[in-house]
Structure 1
Amino acid sequence: MELRPLVTTADRPAPGNGANAGASAAAEPVTPHMARLLRNGPFHEALRAAIAASGLSLDRIQDRLRRRGTTVAPATLSSWQSGRYRPERPQSLAALAVLEDVLCLPPGALAALLGPPRPRGRWLPATTEHPRLADVWSRNRDLVDALSLVDTQWDESLTRLSCHNRLEMDAQGCERSMWSRRLLRAERDGADRWIAVYRLDNPGPPPRVRAEAPCRTGRLVEVPEDGLVVTEVLFDRPLERGETVIVEYTFEHRSPRPYSTRIESTIHVPMREHLLEVHFDPAALPVACHSFRTAELDSRPQERLLRLDASGAVHAVALAAGPCRFGIRWDWA
């Protein structure tokens, strides 16, 4: 599973900032590089280049799509342009046609870069083994390259029983840190590490990783140009089959991240319990929070209103979660 706090640069001021939002930039002419991507692909790189050339944030693109009668979440757009997923369902393909118009591209320019549909289904086959990490992220080249530098052999034999992620926000509405606690069970003898993956939505220095005792960090791979960090979290000893282990670690940002509006987890294998928390600073409380969860990885999310507690925190729980996207989003003033 890749954990990804999605950072959006919405054209509205951060808490306490009274500056007016600027108008979105006009689309730039098609460059030779863009023409080459539209001709040869791959799809996600062509889409990412087209979005960059448009000068529009993902939130603004979502707004323009909505005005044309099409609903696509910024998280979905982000997953398409990163290569983690691609539009395959009829509804997604119809939205892609509208997106081409929003980005001032020729009709069918992006759709022509899509290959045949991938096999899909809500639940994975009934087996104690999980897909290899490299296979799960095979369409995301930079992540596959990073995973090749760490030892992923035990990931397939670790059953995810529960996951608890807590995002800490600062007084400027920016991310401070992400704490994660996982309960894992070994399905064969020898498992001795967990692979933690964290990606920023925008390029920048990857966060520091701190593992809680008795675990410790092993090999670490950082890709600043992609805001990506992959690390081994080593257990204190190899596990026997059926044995469980609690793994805790924290990602701490080296510098304040851009103004944040959501946290999202991508769940690829069945999990009994997934808990998300967001702790806001009293000086920067959102006006509204919603949890969201999709039925499948590429389906439309269902939302639920969340209420801040007395400490300024919200949480959401996904029980018996299969392959899906699950997260919390919030609105500032």
Structure 2
Amino acid sequence: MRLDEVLASGPFSLALKLAIRGSGLSLDRLQHKLEERGTRVSKTALSYWQHGRTRPERPESLRALAAVEQVLGLEAGALSSLLGPPRPRGRWLAQQPNSLRLDEAWARPDGLSRALQRMGTSLDALHRLTKVGVHITSTVGSNHKMLESSYLVVVRAAQDVDRYVGAFRTDAGMVEPLRIEDTVGCRLGRLRDDAATGFCTYELLLERPLRAGELTVLRYTLRSVTAEIDAYQSHRAAPGLLDFSIQVRFDPSCLPVRVYRTHRLSIADSEPKETELWLGASHTAQLVEVNPSPGIYRVAWAWD
């Protein structure tokens, strides 16, 4: 896509990413040039902005964004005009005890809404089943890209229901459509995406309808082909989750130099504390929680 086209319609994250790429500056050089202008902004924040994980909202962040526009040779307001209204603040769990508030659980929740609409459903579909147990096993290949992520999910019906609706998003850019395979206890229904924001939504049709309160176990595998390398696996844990784990297995010929875990209540939170994870003889890192606190859990890694 061309920068001028994205500056006209958004999204903000893609416009920033294309502008940085077009400038020829690395994030280190961009940060250095900003500091020369008296503007301090972390490289992590710049990376999060261009990948849509967070966006500048606080006054100091908006001032930094104005300096970014200057350094990148853009007109004043070219990027800030794409931000839209500020996201609501506050503890999303306190306000919606049975769900994650989407504006703080996902970057660009508008893309999630559009993908669901294209699938003929709505945000309400995400909460008709309560996740009681979630276990994710991801495999990262020698090309530094995620080969697949297998899910074992124990769900309880919050109402009479015949399908499970899920959402997937990547910052690495999809080269091919998402594939969902190896289903047990369900079969693939509709699948829709929102290319501008990297969202894909999918439905798994249950082998038998559930009455409110009934439990079932689902297994399935997500396979994707991304344009860029992958740097994390994450999951949004809602209230009601009792048993949770993420395992990430790396190709033994190409191991990361560092693997760590984070947890934060929302994407608007400040940079979360990083806890190192052990990568043992099985070349697998693990995040395991019983009765986890709600929020966004992530296993991340660095190649250099």
Aligned residue identity for 2:27? I
Aligned residue identity for 2:62? L
> Structure 1 regions of 5+ residues with no counterpart?
1-29
Alignment of 1:76 with 2:48, yes or no, is yes
Shift of 1:205: 0.3
Structure 2 CA distance for aligned equivalents of residues 278 and 267 of structure 1: 17
- Residues 115-194 of structure 1: pairs in structure 2 closer than 5 A: 115-125=84-94, 129-130=98-99, 139-140=108-109, 142-150=111-119, 151-152=121-122, 153-188=124-159, 190-194=160-164
What TM-score, normalized to structure 2?
0.77
Shift of 1:175: 2.0
Shift of 1:312: 0.4
Query: Quick check: 1:192–1:235 contact (8 Å CA) kept in 2?
Result: yes
Report the more deviating stretch, 200-209 or 102-111.
102-111
Structure 2 CA distance for aligned equivalents of residues 146 and 298 of structure 1: 23
Q: 1:245 to 1:91 in 2, by over 3 A?
A: farther
Shift of 1:186: 1.7
Q: How many pairs align? A: 291
Q: CA RMSD in A?
A: 3.7
Structure 2 CA distance for aligned equivalents of residues 294 and 315 of structure 1: 18
Shift of 1:128: 5.9
Structure 1 CA distance for aligned equivalents of residues 3 and 191 of structure 2: 37
* Structure with more contact order per residue of length (Cα contacts < 8 Å, sep ≥ 6): 1
Structure 1 CA distance for aligned equivalents of residues 208 and 280 of structure 2: 39
Structure 2 CA distance for aligned equivalents of residues 42 and 225 of structure 1: 7
Cα deviation code 1:233-263 (max 9, x no counterpart): 121222222222222210124x5x4563412
Q: 1:165 to 1:33 in 2, by over 3 A?
A: same
Residue 281 of structure 1 corresponds to which residue in structure 2?
251
Residue 305 of structure 1 corresponds to which residue in structure 2?
276
Query: Quick check: 1:291–1:303 contact (8 Å CA) kept in 2?
Result: yes
Residue 50 of structure 1 corresponds to which residue in structure 2?
19
Question: 2:210 aligns to what SS in structure 1?
Answer: coil
Cα deviation code 1:252-285 (max 9, x no counterpart): 24x5x45634124362744635422210111111
Query: Quick check: 1:221–1:229 contact (8 Å CA) kept in 2?
Result: yes
- Of 212, 225, 234, which residue of structure 2 is paired with 1:265? 234
Query: Quick check: 1:204–1:227 contact (8 Å CA) kept in 2?
Result: no
Structure 1 CA distance for aligned equivalents of residues 258 and 46 of structure 2: 17
Shift of 1:135: 11
Shift of 1:89: 3.0
What TM-score, normalized to structure 1?
0.71
Q: 1:168 to 1:134 in 2, by over 3 A?
A: same
Residue 62 of structure 2 corresponds to which residue in structure 1?
93
Q: 1:224 to 1:100 in 2, by over 3 A?
A: closer
Residue 291 of structure 1 corresponds to which residue in structure 2?
261
Aligned residue identity for 2:161? A
Cα deviation code 1:46-84 (max 9, x no counterpart): 43542453355xxx326633773422346622453xxx7
Residue 7 of structure 1 corresponds to which residue in structure 2?
none
Q: 1:305 to 1:134 in 2, by over 3 A?
A: closer
Structure 2 CA distance for aligned equivalents of residues 169 and 162 of structure 1: 23
